[in-house]
Structure 1
Amino acid sequence: MYNIKNSKELATYINYANLNNIITEDEMKEFLEKAKETTFNSVIVSPTYVELAKESLKDTDIKVGSVVGFPLGFEDSQTKLAEAKSLIDKGADELEVVVNLSHLKDKKYDLIGKEIEEIKKAVGDKILKVDIEVKALDDAEKSAVVQVIEKAGADYVKNATGFVTPCHIYEIVNDINIIQKYAPKVKIEIYGGVDSYKIANQVLTGGADRIASNQGYEIVKRYKELRENTQVKPKPITLTKK
């Protein structure tokens, strides 16, 4: 099992996500206030709320992540590039770009690679993740595209947008194994289906570097309740000489 020492450490592996497309500003402020109660690696918000998140979290170590070409990824490369540059200008620390699945199905790996290279060049030292939507791919397609992503210089491969049916833990571990085998230098982020500490621990144990979850706050809170707030009063022991 993954050796998580406490709830604060667990939170550093989690990117707390809220990509609800009908969320109000007040609801987003409430989400960000909850995020500040712990030590998440980042929050993931829509482009609409990047500046709000950056301002709200300015006195914390929590990074702000957002999305490019989300959730379908079929925008042209120049549109994605412009969106990425705009988000960096607004203060985003991490960007997630959705791969063009039509290009992937047609094996247009040169176009996919060029798009990622251009976006990575534009974002510089900021984190770039590439979402491959594994539910739409077979294992051969996964192995091919992660090699392209690694070669193009992306920092992370992400398995899903969260807009499809979540993978079962066994599917997640299979996908992690494929990524580690064919693109060993790229890091791995898992999104979808991680809604409890137990699943989070299994995913980290399976080889993921980060977890993105809408339930990040609840995962950390529950772990804290189970592991840090449980008080056990030992019974006194009396030693008697024989």
Structure 2
Amino acid sequence: MEFGKFIDHTLLKPNATVDDIKNLCDEAKQYNFYSVCVNSYYAALADSQLRNTDIKVCAVVGFPFGAQKASVKAFEAKQCAQDCADEIDMVLNVGMLKSGYYDLIEEEIRMVKNAIEERTLKVIFENCYLTDEQKKIACNLSIKAGADFIKTSTGFGTGGATLADVELMKKEVGDRIKIKASGGIRDRETAVAFIRAGAERIGTSSGIKILSE
């Protein structure tokens, strides 16, 4: 598989403009990335720019803090699906996970998955705020709830992806679910290291630099 197909070409800055999103999509076509990853408002725009290509549209939900009600996340995800997003990256409720409300976490993941049906769901943990045990619990809750990927971070927390976290997640889940590494991955050497550690997708705004190295 060509290297660009590991990459979700990402632009999630709050000041991203319509022209910025169009440019992101043009770059994705030029470099043949797997997808573009955008804020939910821009899912329809990205879809309009990427029609008649095999590049997917990924939209984030509950971003970046995950502190919305499960019903709100499910509604946002359903709207993204109606706007032709192929994949959803949702932030789980970090505070509720840390509080031990595991049934709530499992239920919100399941609600979002049900809302998007056959589309791919990735669950963002925001590992910088979690203990290793909480990361393992989140792994298993995501699997039980029917998610397709687990993801290290939003890129908006106090820390991004680490090799130690991907290795821990891979050891916990084996081949039961896929892993996306995201947050602070800015060069090819680092991206390759994450793939070797078990990540099957890389979320980065530095995809062009990575492919150019």
What's the TM-score bracket when you normalise by the shorter of the two chains? over 0.9
1:155 aligns with 2:148: yes
CA distance in 2, matches of 1:183, 1:108: 21
1:169-206, CA deviations, whole angstroms, 9 ceiling, x for partnerless residues? xxx22212221222221110000121111111111111
Is 1:182 the equivalent of 2:175? Answer: no
Establish whether residue 52 from structure 1 lines up as the match of residue 45 from structure 2.
Answer: yes
The alignment yields a C-alpha RMSD, in angstroms, of 1.3
User: Does residue 78 in structure 1 map to residue 71 in structure 2?
Assistant: yes
Larger Rg over CA atoms: 1
Provide the rounded CA distance (Å) in 2 between the counterparts of 1:124 and 1:160: 24
1:106 partnered with 2:96: no
- The amino acid that maps onto 1:196 is D
2: CA distance between counterparts of 1:121 and 1:63?
A: 20
Aligned-residue offset at 1:167? 3.9
CA distance in 1, matches of 2:135, 2:27: 35
Distance 1:180 1:22 in 2: 34
Which amino acid letter does the alignment assign opposite residue 136 of structure 2? S
SS in 1 for 2:51: coil
Q: Find 2:32's aligned residue among 32, 39, 44.
A: 39
2-structure distance, mates of 1:120, 1:23: 27
The Cα of 1:166 is off from its aligned counterpart by: 3.9
- Distance in 1 (CA, whole Å) between partners of 2:61 and 2:13 is 15
Query: Match for 2:136 among 133, 143, 148?
Result: 143
1:167 and 1:22 map into 2 onto residues whose CA distance is 21
Match of 1:88 in 2: 81
3-state secondary structure, aligned to 1:37:
helix
Once the 2 structures are TM-superposed, how far is the Cα of residue 102 of structure 1 from its aligned partner? Answer: 1.3
Residue number among 182, 188, 193 corresponding to 2:184 in the alignment: 193
Amino acid corresponding to residue 103 of structure 1 in structure 2 = M
TM-score (norm 1): 0.84
- The answer as to whether partners of 2:154 and 2:160 remain within 8 angstroms in 1 is no
Q: Report deviation, 1:218.
A: 1.9
On the 8 A contact 2:154/2:182 being kept in 1, the answer is: yes
Deviations 1:64-96 (A, max 9, x none): 000110000010011111101000000000001
Q: Per-residue displacement from partner, 1:136-161 (whole Å, max 9, x unpaired)?
A: 01111111111111111100001000
Q: CA offsets per residue over residues 118-149 of structure 1, 9 Å max, x none?
A: 21122111000000000001111111111111
Q: SS of 1:160's equivalent?
A: coil
User: Separation in 1 of the partners of 2:206 and 2:144?
Assistant: 32
Further displaced range: 181-190 or 124-133: 181-190
Matches within 5 A, 1:113-124: 113-124=106-117
Q: Provide the C-alpha distance between the structure 2 equivalents of 1:214 and 1:165, rounded to a whole number of angstroms.
A: 17
Equivalent of 1:62, from 51, 55, 59?
55
Aligned residue identity for 2:193: Q
- 8 Å CA contact 2:150, 2:178 repeated in 1: yes
> Which residue identity lines up with residue 64 of structure 1 in the other structure?
V
Structure 1 unpaired stretches of 5+ = 224-242
